[in-house]
Structure 1
Amino acid sequence: MMNLLGTILIGLVAGLIARAIKPGNDPMGWIMTILLGIGGSLLATWGGQALGLYQAGQAAGFIGAVVGAVILLVLWGALSKKR
């Protein structure tokens, strides 16, 4: 349970960092950005640990969370523009 809570908190920060890193003007609000950051963090943490790229608590996990959040923000932006 604490690992999940930690991942969610890291995802919150990763979402805010991803919003600052990703170029362009996003019409989505901060709440959606944070939720996508949490989703990216969960996916990157699970995926990176499943592939053996890093272990829980390593700095690479935070970097992976930011990268996962940026990827989700880009995908969300691309999909929302098509509607």
Structure 2
Amino acid sequence: MHYLWMFLIGLLVGVVAKFLMPGKDPGGFIITGLLGVAGMFLGGFLASLIFGTNMSATGSIEPSGFIGGVIGSLILLAVYRMFRRNTQA
């Protein structure tokens, strides 16, 4: 059940990241979910490097984790767009 919630929150994070980053996206619903879930992990990893703490120790969803997930998703979305643009050209 934890993975289902992680995917749903990741999907929401991916949608927010796509909304915040202007331009046409090559991915659909599945790519949005995967980028959101991966962005949550990347955002948590970056937050632990920057702040030196384990942000997911409590296991609860917090606004700082959501914001970190959006930032991580924005980074991954930019990288995804770069690679997709290069392969289509």
Matches of residues 30-69 of structure 1 in structure 2 within 5 Å? 30-49=29-48, 51-52=52-53, 54=55, 56=58, 57=60, 58-69=62-73
Report deviation, 1:46. 3.6
How many residues in Structure 1 have an aligned counterpart in Structure 2?
82
Are residue 82 (structure 1) and residue 86 (structure 2) matched? yes
Is the Cα contact below 8 Å between 2:39 and 2:73 reproduced in 1?
Answer: yes
> C-alpha root-mean-square deviation of aligned residues, in Å?
2.3
1:5 Cα deviation from its structure 2 partner: 5.0
2:77 is matched with 73
Change (3 A) 1:63 1:5: same
- 1:7–1:45 CA contact under 8 A, matched in 2: no
- How many percent identity over aligned positions? 35
Larger Rg: 2
| TM-score between the two structures when normalised by the length of structure 2 | 0.73
> Which residue does 1:16 correspond to in 2?
15
Contiguous gaps of at least 5 residues in structure 1: none
The unaligned stretches of length 5 or more in structure 2 are: none
